[in-house]
Every structure is written in structure tokens, then in C-alpha cells.
Amino acid sequence: MDGTAHQCVQTYLQQQTGLDSFQRVAAPGVNAAILAGKIVADGGGENVQMLVKLKIWSDASRKVSLDLRLSESTGNPVGFGSLGTLDGNQMINLHMGINDVHFSFSTRQIANGSYAVGLDITFPFREFLDRVERCLSFEVARPAMAAGMHVTSQNWGYGSMQIPLTPLCV
């Protein structure tokens, strides 16, 4: 490819995406581990939801948080979501053995481009139980919904989130 270093690296990394599922084995002696995951797009247009389905193993019953870290194709972090870290009422209850944990998030404000998902199981602000880096990936590619409009693209260098602005006085 011919372009800036940033453009070449981004193009290379986008070719490495496409992980819609993963499986792994828990390391010996861990308290909890994310064993498998799958990500699936649901919906269309501006209302696409990403459904994440996980299998989490735990050696005992416990309340934990599950954190999602979203990064763009070059590895820069662009978003964070949590079940439990920011709101203790959303912590998930794991029972001893294998647990099915499902959640979703909207892509409505995410710019067109390639994204990687990292996942953490934690006791919030105290201890990491498990971390899986760049284990799932997805692509946002939606057309403009109105004539004369453009959808923000990651490679423009404006960031990965589109922030709606409301004009108050022109």
C-alpha cells in the first residue's frame, strides 16, 4: 500500500479482524475465566445492536463485574462498557461451573470502521480475575440515512464516536 504510516498500519490491522468467536482454556489455579465468546450483529440501518454471548467458568459462586473495552483497528481505546464496575447494582452473579452471560450494545454513535473487543472479569477497583485482549471484532459500515449527509469514518482521523450536536443559535 502507498500512503502515510498511519494509513498503512490501519489497513494492515483491518485485514487481521474478523473474529466473530473465540474459545480458550482456563489457566490452572484461576478463580474465574472467560472460556468462549461470540459476537453477532442484530438489526439494520442506524439501530444495529451487537449481541455478545459468553461462557464464563467460576470455581465458586460470586458477584463480579464484566467489562468491555472497545478499541479501533490500530489499538487505540475508544469506548468502555460495564456490567457492575460503574453501577454495583448491575454486577453479575456467577455460580460454580460454567455460566452463560449475554449482553448487547448499540453501534448507533460509533463511526464506520473496524473495532476489537477486549473483556475483563473483575472485583471492581480491587482485582482482575480474567482479561481477554482483542478476542472479538466487528465492522461498522452503514450508509448515510439522508441525502447530502455523510457517516463519520474512523480513517478520517476525527475519532471513533459521532457526537450529535444541536444548534441553539445560528
In a domain, residue 126? The reply is yes
The angle formed by the CA atoms of residues 134, 136 and 140, to the nearest 5 degrees, is: 105
Burial tier of 27 (Cβ tally within 10 Å: 0-12, 13-18, 19+): exposed
Let me know if residue 103 belongs to a domain: yes
Give the model confidence (pLDDT) of 107-137 as tens digits: 988 888 899 999 999 999 999 999 999 999 9
**Confidence check: pLDDT of 14 > 60:** no
Q: What is the predicted pLDDT for the residue at 150?
A: 64
What was the pLDDT predicted at 23? 97
Give 52-106 pLDDT, tens digit per residue.
Answer: 999 999 999 999 999 999 998 778 899 999 999 999 999 999 999 999 999 999 9
Distances in Å between the Cα of 146 and the Cα atoms of 48, 88, 140, 166, 168 are: 17, 40, 18, 17, 22
In-domain check, residue 98 = yes
Question: Cα–Cα distances in Å, from 104 out to 9, 88, 111, 130, 131?
Answer: 29, 18, 18, 20, 19
In a domain, 166, yes or no: no
C-alpha 41/C-alpha 51 separation (Å) is 6
* Position 69 in a domain: yes
Q: Which of 3-7, 16-20, 30-34 has the lowest mean pLDDT?
A: 3-7
Residue 38 lies in a domain: yes
CATH, residue 103: 2.70.50.60
Whole-angstrom distance, CA of residue 120 vs CA of residue 123: 10
User: Would 170 be classed as within a structural domain?
Assistant: no
Range of the domain at 147: 5-156
pLDDT score at 75: 86
Query: Number of folded domains in the chain?
Result: 1
Establish if 161 belongs to a structural domain: no
Where does the pLDDT of residue 165 fall: very low under 50, low under 70, confident under 90, or very high at 90 and above? Answer: low
Instruction: For the sheet with 97-106, list strands across it.
Output: 21-23, 32-42, 49-58, 97-106
Tell how strand 97-106 and strand 92-94 pair up.
unpaired
Tell me the whole-structure pTM to 2 decimals: 0.80
- pLDDT at site 111: 87
